[in-house]
Amino acid sequence: MRFVDLAATSAAVAATSGRRAKVELLAEALRNLAPEELVAGSGYLAGELRQRQTGVGYASLRELPPPAEHPTLTVAGVDAAIAELAEVRGPGSQQRRRQLLAALFGAATVDERRLLLGLFSGELRQGAQAGLLAEAIARAAEVPLPTVRRALLLAGDLKAVAAAALTGGSGALTGFALQVGRPLAPMLAQSAGSVEEALTAVGLPAVVDVKLDGIRIQVHRSGDDISVFTRSLDEITSRVPEVVAAVRSLPARELVLDGEAIALDASGRPRPFQETASRAATRGARRAVRDEARREPGDLAAVGGGPGDLAAVGGGPGEVAAVGGGPGEVAAVGGGPDEVAAVGVDDADPAGGTRSFGAAPVAPSTAGSAWSVGSVDISEVPRIGTSGTAPAEIPGPDRPATVAPAVIAAANTSGGVVLTPYFFDILHLDGVDLLDAPGHERWAALSRTVSPAQLVERITVDTVEQASTAFAAAVDAGHEGIVVKAPQAAYDAGRRGAAWVKVKPRHTLDLVVLAVEWGSGRRKGWLSNLHLGARDPETGGFVMLGKTFKGLTDELLRWQTERFQELAVERGDWVVRVRPEQVVEIAFDGVQSSPRYPGGVALRFARVLRYRDDKSAAEADTIDTVRAIHEGRRP
């Protein structure tokens, strides 16, 4: 297939608003791929490179030869060229990589270059989400959509599923199963605005878990082989030796566990989220965090990974530095702080010890097991919440979380803060898949296998009052909120279903718009991304807290495009600076430290609720209020 035709499909999908039309465009492109092009081509349609790390950085993309006038590239040819780039190593590799990159881009037309830049940067914003591509695969291969979705969730690789469906049909898709050592897309939770709303969706009785503000981890163990994966299915085994130490001590040979890893202070309260994120990130990611603080809007970030390879800091979408494998192998994509994934292995780990699936060995801990099972029947250990009701005992300052000695010892080898693992689900245990088992059976198996100190706090509730008490206790202890779960539901991998519903406290602030960025893709021609500022009572000015385009309807986009052009004081090609007069009500999930902004803090998951024409800028919330929220004080 000609690469220019794939580029045309990508552009058409980006310009199309209807879901059905997008699916048909994608399906037609999939049908036209040759069998040997399916893996690479389906990845390009998803905005991914088959080669997760290419070694191509921002500097490499700054100076490119002129585009070709006539298309000559094929999908297979582009894949081969990128594969050659990814294999470049050793002395002279930088020069060789530049030569290969120049050859590829020199043979690409203007339209083809646009697609290539989007793929290398991880910022191909064409509106082709995984759900759309699953539908397109089903249509192109003429197989049932549920079959495609199930295979996709178990495989965790859209490219492999597309190739199987289009070459082997439904029969090939049924061959995908949970495989210990191969990550699968985690089950996700819907959001609810209140505890009552969550319980209405889930029903009573329900199970209530504390929602930790850590990084999602999925841990696979088969004998001595242990791997730790992030929510985006990237492996971070060598970065989290304390997680490996904790799982190594468990009394099982084969395990797949779902949980969170989080940095806690001495009292057991969560440390700032970015400390957890940066602790699990590669050195390249930490450099990217510093570079991102200096990056101007519109700059193209350096590249090397695929979408979802995130180590998140900063404010809203597009303000997140992401990670690759080694120096200079950094990708920047959208997403938010919940979607953190530190990827790649750029350090040489000591030989010996527990092996990870396909990664360098992790040094064994010398501190012994994380908990003793030699003299205790773990089936008799009391646990909270697998059945019946129990009081909401949430870790807090007076009940510090227990961190096992082996976990601390392992963490000391990393030189960073301790990441404590907590688990809330089990998907496989000693040869038995538990995905389709009801939640209460999975959780009973989990509590028989994992130390109570390493279980997410959980209770069963029969009333709204009990759930509300648990929610208040979780928030008071510094956690994000709760997740309400249906005890009869199976583990719906990769889906955001109604069986799990999260409830977080919703903060709102009245802030002032300082500038607005012109949109791209579907929002091209509209002023979209808002620069948000809090009032500084000392200077009378405003302190920027981040950006957001979340929550904006088409009607609001049209209105604000007119409004902010009226308030414009400086018109750039990318950013329009405005008089600080318009107040907007912003909802957000929390405040985090950020070197990117002058106030030292940024909003997490900021989204527009409404414009406040009833308030003047002098009535906007202050930076002191924002800092009070950050410090856990009531403003």
Neighbouring CB atoms inside 10 A of 145's CB total: 13
To the query of whether residue 211 is one of the catalytic residues in this protein, the response is: yes
| Cα dihedral 444→448→452→457 (10° resolution) | -10
SS3 208: strand
DSSP string, 462-507: SSHHHHHHHHHHHHHTT--EEEEE-TT----TT-EEEEEEEE---E
User: Do residues 252 and 430 lie in contact, with contact meaning Cβ atoms separated by under 8 Å?
Assistant: yes
The Cα–Cα gap between 94 and 443 comes to 50
C-alpha radius of gyration, the chain, whole number: 25
List all residues 6 or more positions away from 20 whose beta carbon is below 8 Å from its beta carbon: none
Neighbouring CB atoms inside 10 A of 616's CB total: 12
Token pair, residue 429, equals 């245990």
The Cα–Cα gap between 515 and 575 comes to 7
The Cα–Cα gap between 199 and 502 comes to 10
C-alpha torsion sign, points 222, 227, 233, 235: negative
Distances (CA, A) of 30 to 8, 109, 133, 389, 510: 13, 22, 10, 51, 47
The Cα–Cα gap between 111 and 115 comes to 7
Residue 222 DSSP class: E
Neighbouring CB atoms inside 10 A of 122's CB total: 25
The catalytic residue among 22, 159, 211, 502 is 211
User: Do residues 134 and 185 lie in contact, with contact meaning Cβ atoms separated by under 8 Å?
Assistant: no
Among residues 494, 496, 500, the alpha carbon closest in space to that of 184 is found at 494
DSSP string, 140-183: HHT--HHHHHHHHHHH--HHHHHHHHHHHHHHHHTT----TTS-
Q: Which amino acid is at 110?
A: V
SS3 209: strand
User: Do residues 498 and 506 lie in contact, with contact meaning Cβ atoms separated by under 8 Å?
Assistant: no
Q: Is the peptide bond before 205 cis (omega within 30 degrees of 0)?
A: yes
Neighbouring CB atoms inside 10 A of 5's CB total: 17
SS3 14: helix
Neighbouring CB atoms inside 10 A of 362's CB total: 27
User: Do residues 61 and 19 lie in contact, with contact meaning Cβ atoms separated by under 8 Å?
Assistant: no
List all residues 6 or more positions away from 363 whose beta carbon is below 8 Å from its beta carbon: 241, 349, 350, 352, 353, 413
User: Do residues 567 and 578 lie in contact, with contact meaning Cβ atoms separated by under 8 Å?
Assistant: yes
Residue carrying the six token digits 């719906």: 492
C-alpha torsion sign, points 212, 217, 218, 219: negative
Q: Which amino acid is at 455?
A: L
Token pair, residue 96, equals 């060789």
Among residues 603, 595, 604, the alpha carbon closest in space to that of 623 is found at 603
Do the bridges between strand 458-461 and strand 206-211 make them parallel or antiparallel, or are there none, so unpaired? antiparallel
Beta partners for residue 419, in sequence order = 263
Q: Which residues are catalytic?
A: 211
